[in-house]
């Protein structure tokens, strides 16, 4: 009773350093469909071709979602058609041109973030005949934004990569010491350029890594490999971030949306 079309595209350099991928989608179901979107380390840009989506009880069409550390419920009413772009947090800072703290835990209309250019982009993409031409237009648009956008400090890029690359296991105090920064300065810069403080970013990174290992190793080994104190700690953290237990997650996985590794 449902049909879905997904077409993925990975932009080339220099955009690939800031944009993980584009996904063109078209979905039709017999009635409303809800999904629980799980926390992940990316900025989500959804460009809708007309049909609204309910995000935490608010109706939106094209929108930008910042980093979250709780699951977010989305519902569509039978039809969805558009493009989703997944940006790195620092890519979001540069391409969207605003502090990521303004988007943390929030969803904003694309027009409120990009102004008239955002509304015009959605209309132009909707009227193109196929996915390759849409992806090409979106790449050109983002390349112009990249050339004009603010560059984050290199120290922040290094710290972000250390957390993401270690799956959240690097201690925040060690990061600050290696940078020669105070802990407060590191937290302030992370809020501005990434959206969440480094400790929370590391927490989400561990959660993502745990999802990737779930069902492949024993619960005790998973907790050890992901940096949790023990299996009980892992279970508490998983419930806090996913809104369910690991066992419930595996049973409900088709209606939950885990994201890729950072």
Domain with CATH 1.10.10.60 in the chain: 154-257
pLDDT at 258 over 80: no
Judge whether residue 224 has pLDDT over 90. yes
Per DSSP, the three-state class of 38 is coil
Q: Give the model's confidence band at 131: pLDDT under 50 very low, under 70 low, under 90 confident, else very high.
A: very high
Residue-level length of the chain = 262
The residue behind tokens 């619960």 is 219
Query: Would you place residue 254 in the very low, low, confident or very high pLDDT band (cuts 50, 70, 90)?
Result: low
Return the pLDDT at 43: 97
pLDDT at 257: 61
Which tokens hold the place of 65? Answer: 């979602």
Q: Is pLDDT of 261 > 60?
A: no
Query: 258 or 217: which carries more pLDDT confidence?
Result: 217
CATH 2.60.120 residue window(s) in the chain: 3-148
Q: Please give the Cα distance from 36 to 242 (Å, whole number).
A: 8
pLDDT in tens, 23-53: 999 999 999 999 999 999 999 999 999 889 9
Q: Which two tokens stand for residue 151?
A: 């560059």
pLDDT at 251: 84
pLDDT value, residue 108 = 96
Mean of the per-residue pLDDT values of the chain: 93
- Average pLDDT, integer, range 234-259: 84
| pLDDT score, position 51 | 87
% of the chain surpassing 90 pLDDT: 89
Mean pLDDT of 116-136: 95
| Cβ partners under 8 Å of residue 191, min gap 6 | 99, 100, 101, 104, 197
Distance between terminal CA atoms of the chain? 34
70: which DSSP letter?
A: S
Give the pLDDT confidence of 136-195 residue by residue, as tens digits. Answer: 999 999 999 999 999 999 999 999 999 999 999 999 999 999 999 999 999 999 999 999
Give the integer Cα–Cα distance in Å for 116 and 69. 30
Tell me what pLDDT residue 260 has.
Answer: 61
Cβ neighbors of 11 (< 8 A, separation 6 or more) are 19, 21, 22, 135, 139, 142
Q: So what's the architecture of 3-148 in CATH? A: Sandwich (2.60)
Tokens 């929370």 label which residue?
200
Mean pLDDT of 127-138: 97
Note whether 85 and 185 are within 8 A (CB).
Answer: no
> Residue 57 has what pLDDT?
84
> What class, spelled out in words, does domain 154-257 have in CATH?
mainly alpha
Q: Which of 260, 133, 255 is nearest to 204 (CA)?
A: 260
> How far apart, in whole angstroms, are the C-alpha atoms of residue 47 and residue 41?
19
- Please tell me the distance from the alpha carbon of residue 256 to that of residue 36, in angstroms, as a whole number: 5
The more confident residue out of 252 and 41 is 41
């Amino acid at each position: 009773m449902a049909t879905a079309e997904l077409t993925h595209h990975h932009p080339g350099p220099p955009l690939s350093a800031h944009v993980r991928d584009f996904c063109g989608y078209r979905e039709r179901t017999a009635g409303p469909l809800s999904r629980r979107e799980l926390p992940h380390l990316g900025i989500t840009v959804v460009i809708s071709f007309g049909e609204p989506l309910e995000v935490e009880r608010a109706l939106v069409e094209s929108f930008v979602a910042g980093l979250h550390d709780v699951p977010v419920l989305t519902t569509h009413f039978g039809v969805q058609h558009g493009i989703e772009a997944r940006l790195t947090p620092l890519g979001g800072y540069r391409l969207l041109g605003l502090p990521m703290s303004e988007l943390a835990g929030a969803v904003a209309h694309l027009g409120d973030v990009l102004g008239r250019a955002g509304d015009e982009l959605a209309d132009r993409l909707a009227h193109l005949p196929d996915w390759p031409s849409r992806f090409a237009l979106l790449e050109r648009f983002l390349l112009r934004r990249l050339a004009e956008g603010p560059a984050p400090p290199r120290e922040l890029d290094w710290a972000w990569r250390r957390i993401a690359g270690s799956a959240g296991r690097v201690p925040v105090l060690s990061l600050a010491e290696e940078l020669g920064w105070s802990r407060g300065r590191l937290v302030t810069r992370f809020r501005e350029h990434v959206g969440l403080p480094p400790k929370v970013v590391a927490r989400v990174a561990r959660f993502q890594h745990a999802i990737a290992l779930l069902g492949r190793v024993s619960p005790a080994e998973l907790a050890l490999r992901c940096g949790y104190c023990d299996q009980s700690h892992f279970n508490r953290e998983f419930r806090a971030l996913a809104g369910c237990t690991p066992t419930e997650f595996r049973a409900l996985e088709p209606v939950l949306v885990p994201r890729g590794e950072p």
